[in-house]
Amino acid sequence: MYGKKQNKQAQDADGTDARMTAIACFIKNNFQNLQERYQALTAQIGTKTALGYSGAALLLAWAASGIYIIDEGNRGVIKRFGAYQETTSPGPHWHLPFPIESASVVNVANQRFIEVGYSSASERGAGSILGESLMLTEDENIVDIKLAVQYQIKDARNYLFKLEDQLASLKQATQSAERAVIGKSRMDYVLTEGRSAIVAQIQEQIQKIMDSYDSGIIVTSVNLQDAQPPEQVQAAFEDAIKAREDKQRLINEAEAYANEIVPSARGGAARKIQEAQAYKENVIATATGDISRFNQLFDEYKKSPAVTRKRLLIETMESVLGDSNVVLLDSPQSNNMMYLPIDKMLGERSKNVDNTVSNSKPATINNKVDQIEPKFKRIERGRN
């Protein structure tokens, strides 16, 4: 892109030279025509009269040579005996002819550019200019930087009269601004996320320097063509970049794992807290009920201790022996204790239980009850 712009500037310069050559040829041809007409006029009216006419014609031609036209996008700078006189806008104008005054035309619309740190049109081809491209960073590393600075002329008078070499001054200002900004930045920042900010700072610094010179130049943009470590350390820098990427990847994976596990852990903790709270409330309620029941038993115990003790004993025995399949009968008339294998008896008679119950007569059942009841009464009297 910049090579095309440079070619366009060269073409504009070639076009200007061609126009000047055409004007010179036109003046030469007209001078020859005037010379021929002068000779013819001298032959007709005499030498003295011809000299008068010739002088008037030459004076008129000299005055007409001060006419000039400024194209759109250009400015004319008028100099009188080499000193600035005025600046003219686009359109036809006239100035005192040479050698009193002269006009210089300056294009203020074109975008011009300079290359700093590299050359795209050198004899050896495009490449870095190490004396311009190598910059020292804040962390004492070296960076190879290539910049392209675009600019316009905003004041034709200052552009022509304030600086002796405008392009050299602009390049020096660019290098100065570049060193100031890069020297305050770390290498990683320059090569990665800080490019846009660095370019903006460099452009601002260049403009300040050029304004201090009253250069008549406005910097429209600064383009960072390339920024990289020197070729000698390129491999080591790529390894460092890969390590940094691995570090960031591991950080991202750890954060993703944390985002996944932390909510689960918080949910588990909340569940355990709720379970503990429920267990706490259950234990408190059970203990409160036991206390209330014990207080009631204690009140009853104070009223009739013997009855309460016996009732507690019976309830405890029912609780302990309720699920037992072994029955022991203690008869006061005998020193032997009867053992009834209820589990075996139930196993053998389980098939006939329903039939026996259904076929038993009420009188037989009542007789059996009458036979068993005295035995339980005797057992109770023996215990008492």
Q: What is the pLDDT at residue 358?
A: 44
Q: If you ran DSSP here, which 8-state letter would residue 111 be given?
A: P
Confidence of residue 6 (pLDDT cuts 50, 70, 90): very low
pLDDT by residue (tens digit) across 237-294?
778 778 888 999 999 999 999 898 988 888 889 999 999 999 999 999 999 988 888 8
Q: How far apart are CA 71 and CA 92, in angstroms?
A: 9
Q: Tens digit of pLDDT for each residue in 127-154?
A: 678 778 888 888 888 888 999 999 999 9
Highest mean pLDDT among 19-23, 43-47, 72-76: 72-76
Strands 83-88 and 74-80 turn out to be antiparallel
- DSSP element (H, E) containing 68: strand 67-70
Question: So what CATH class is 112-229?
Answer: alpha beta
At which residue do the structure tokens 């005996």 appear? 81
In this structure, what are the phi and psi dihedrals at residue 16, rounded to the nearest 5 degrees? -65, -45
The residue ranking higher by pLDDT, 24 or 211, is 211
| Alpha-carbon span 221 to 200, nearest angstrom | 9
Domains of the chain, residue spans: 1-64, 112-229, 233-323, 325-383
pLDDT tens figures, 324-346: 666 666 566 656 656 556 566 65
Say what the pLDDT of residue 383 is.
42
Query: Residue with structure tokens 């954060």?
Result: 255
- Contact predicate 178/114, CB 8 Å: no
Across 90-104, 135-149, 189-203, 323-337, least confident range: 323-337
**160 Cβ contact list (under 8 Å, min separation 6):** 77, 84, 104, 106, 216
- What the block records as the tokens of 284 is 């408190």
Q: How far apart are CA 142 and CA 185, in angstroms?
A: 11
For residue 2, pLDDT over 50 is answered with: no
Please tell me which residue, 1 or 196, carries the higher pLDDT value: 196
Instruction: Flag whether pLDDT at 163 surpasses 60.
Output: yes
